[in-house]
C-alpha cells in the first residue's frame, strides 16, 4: 500500500485575487531549491487515523498556526514517488513570516556519524495561483487545479507562456 499524506490547502483573497499558502521544506537537501520545491503543509498518516485530523495537526506542527472553518475535501492526488496526498481546502489567514516549525534530525554531513537538527519547514509564503503552480511540487499541481475549480475560476488552456516553460 502506498504511503498516505494529509494536508491543508489554505487560501485567501487579496484585491479579489486568490492566493494559496505554501511551505518550503527545511533541511540541507532543499536549501537552494525553489521552483517545484514548495508544498502544502501536510504529513503522513496510518490506516485508522482520520486524515482531516492529521491534516490539521500537521498544519499546526509545520507552521505554528491552527486552522479552522468549513473544510472542502479535494480529490486525492498521487505524487510521482507513489505517495497519495489527501487535502482539504479552507479559506483562512496566517502571517507567513511568523511560522514556527517542528524539528527533525538526520545524519549531517552524510556518512559523518553526526546528527543535526533542522526545521521541517524553513519558510512559508502566499502565492497567486499562477505563482503557486511554478513553486509547488509537480505531484501536488492537481490540488491547485481543484482549488481553482472550487473557486469557480477558469482553468488555463493551451500551452504555458514561454517564460513559464521548463
Domain residue ranges in the chain: 4-155
pLDDT the model gives residue 156: 58
Looking only at the bridges linking them, the beta strands covering 84-91 and 4-14 are parallel
| Mean pLDDT (whole number) for 29-40 | 91
Multiple choice CATH, 4-155, 2.40.110.10, 3.30.499.10, 1.20.1250.20, 3.90.79.10: 3.90.79.10
Residue the block writes with cell 521548463: 166
Q: Say how far apart CA 16 and CA 91 lie, in whole Å.
A: 13
Return the pLDDT at 165.
38
Q: What is the pLDDT of residues 61-74, one digit of tens each?
A: 999 999 999 999 99
Cβ–Cβ < 8 Å for 133, 98: no
Q: What is the pLDDT of residue 145?
A: 96
Interval 74-116: pLDDT, tens: 999 999 999 999 999 999 999 999 999 988 888 888 888 888 8
97 backbone dihedrals φ, ψ, rounded to 5°: -75, -10
pTM of the model: 0.88
Amino acid at each position: 500500500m502506498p504511503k498516505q499524506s494529509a494536508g491543508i490547502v489554505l487560501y485567501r483573497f487579496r484585491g479579489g485575487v486568490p492566493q494559496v499558502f505554501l511551505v518550503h521544506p527545511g533541511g540541507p537537501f532543499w536549501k537552494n531549491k525553489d521552483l517545484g520545491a514548495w508544498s502544502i503543509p501536510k504529513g503522513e498518516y496510518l490506516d485508522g487515523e482520520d486524515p482531516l485530523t492529521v491534516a490539521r495537526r500537521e498544519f499546526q506542527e509545520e507552521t505554528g498556526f491552527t486552522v479552522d472553518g468549513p473544510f472542502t475535501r479535494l480529490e486525492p492526488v498521487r505524487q510521482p514517488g507513489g505517495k497519495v496526498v489527501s487535502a482539504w481546502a479552507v479559506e483562512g489567514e496566517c502571517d507567513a513570516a511568523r511560522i514556527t516549525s517542528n524539528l527533525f534530525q538526520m545524519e549531517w554531513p552524510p556518512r559523518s556519524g553526526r546528527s543535526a537538527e533542522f526545521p521541517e519547514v524553513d519558510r512559508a509564503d502566499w502565492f497567486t495561483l499562477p505563482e503557486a503552480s511554478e513553486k509547488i511540487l509537480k505531484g501536488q499541481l492537481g490540488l491547485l487545479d481543484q482549488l481553482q475549480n472550487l473557486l469557480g475560476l477558469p482553468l488555463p488552456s493551451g500551452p504555458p507562456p514561454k517564460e513559464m516553460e521548463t
